[in-house]
Amino acid sequence: MFIASGYQKFITHTFVGDDSYIAPDTLFGMKETLVASFDT
C-alpha cells in the first residue's frame, strides 16, 4: 500500500520472482507484470 499527501491510497500486490508457488497460483491470478525481484 502506498500513501502520499495529495494522492489517493494505492494498493497493489507483487510476487517475488523466485517464489516456488508462482506457477501453480490460481487464487490470486498471478500475471508476469506483477512479478518483481527483491534485492536484500
**Could you report the per-residue pLDDT of 7-29, keeping only the tens digit for each?**
988 777 777 777 777 776 666 66
Q: Quickly state the pLDDT bin for 6 (edges 50, 70, 90).
A: very high
Residue 39 confidence (pLDDT): 74
Q: In the structure grid, which three cell numbers stand for residue 20, read together? A: 516456488
Judge contact between 14 and 34, C-beta under 8 A: yes
Check pLDDT > 80 for residue 4: yes
Q: In the structure grid, which three cell numbers stand for residue 19, read together? A: 517464489
pTM of the model: 0.41
Question: What is the number of structural domains in the chain?
Answer: 1
Q: In the structure grid, which three cell numbers stand for residue 25, read together? A: 497460483
Query: What is the domain extent for residue 2?
Result: 1-40
